[in-house]
Structure 1
Amino acid sequence: MADKKDFAFKILSDNRQAGHNYFLSERFECGMVLTGTEVKAAKDAKIQLKDAYASVLGDEAWLLNAHISQYSHGNRENHLPVRNRKLLLHRREIDKLQEITREKGLALIPTKIYMKNGKIKCEIAVAKGKKLYDKRAADKARTADDEARAEMRRRA
Structure 2
Amino acid sequence: MSAHAGEAIKLIAVNRKARHFYEVLDTMEAGISLTGSEVKSLRAGKVNFKDSYVKFTGRFEAFVSGLHISPYENAGYAQHEPERDRKLLMHEHQIRDWKAKVEQKGLTVVPLKLYLKRGKIKMEIGLSRGKNVHDRKDALKERDLDREAKRERDRY
Structures share fold, TM-score greater than 0.5: yes
How does the TM-score come out when normalised to structure 2? 0.94
Conserved 8 A contact 1:8-1:118: no
Q: CA deviation at 1:5?
A: 4.8
Query: Post-superposition, which runs of at least 4 consecutive aligned residues in structure 1 deviate over 6 A?
Result: none
The aligned residue for residue 149 of structure 1 is 150
Q: How many residue pairs align between the two structures?
A: 152
Q: CA deviation at 1:105?
A: 3.0
How does the TM-score come out when normalised to structure 1? 0.94
Q: CA deviation at 1:141?
A: 0.7
Query: Map of 1:3-152 to 2, 5 A cutoff?
Result: 5-58=5-58, 59-152=60-153
Conserved 8 A contact 1:24-1:125: yes
Conserved 8 A contact 1:69-1:81: yes
The superposition leaves residues 123-143 of structure 1 with CA deviations (integer Å, 9 ceiling, x where unpaired) of 100010000100111111111
Gaps in structure 1 of 5+ consecutive residues: none
Conserved 8 A contact 1:28-1:125: yes
- Identity, % of aligned pairs? 39
Letter in 1 for 2:26: E
